[in-house]
Amino acid sequence: MNIESAETRAVLEGLGGGQPGAERRVRRRIRLRWPLSIRKEARVLSTVTENLSSQGFCCVADEPLAAGESVVCILRFPLRHDPQISQALRCQAQVVWVSLMNDGRFSMGCRIEDYTLVA
C-alpha cells in the first residue's frame, strides 16, 4: 500500500466514503432552533431549524420542497447582547435532500448559496 492510497482512504472514510448511511458532512453542525421562513411561490412556509452549519441547515416542515429546488429563506437569530431582539439573514439556498418522517412531516437539508444581513 502506498502513502497516497492510505491518505485517500482516510479522506473518504472521514467523508463517509460513499457508504449508505455514512456521515458525509464536511462542516460541523450545531443544534439550533431558530425561526425560519421559506418562500415557496406565493406562499411562505414557517418552521425552525433543527441544526445549522456555515454551509447549510436542516429544518422540518409540513410540506416538502423538491430536492434541487432553489429557495429564498429568512433566518432569524437572537442578538447576543439582547436575546429579545433578533437579526435576520436573507438566504438563497438549494434543497439538497428531503426525507419523509414517521409523523408525516418532512425533514429537509438545504445548502446556503448566498446570504445578506437584513433588519
Length of the chain: 119
Query: For the domain bounded by 31-118, which CATH number is listed?
Result: 2.40.10.220
- Domain limits, the chain: 1-25, 31-118
Confidence class of residue 26 from pLDDT cuts 50, 70 and 90? low
The pLDDT value recorded for residue 14 is 38
Strands 43-52 and 82-100: unpaired
- Tell me the CA distances in angstroms from 46 to 49, 109, 116, one per residue in order: 10, 15, 19
CA–CA distance, 27 with 46 (Å, rounded to integer): 25
Q: Which residue is listed with cell 441544526?
A: 51
For 47-101, the pLDDT digits (tens) are: 999 999 989 999 999 999 999 999 999 999 988 777 778 899 999 999 999 999 9
Beta carbons within 8 Å of 99's beta carbon, 6+ residues apart: 106, 107, 108
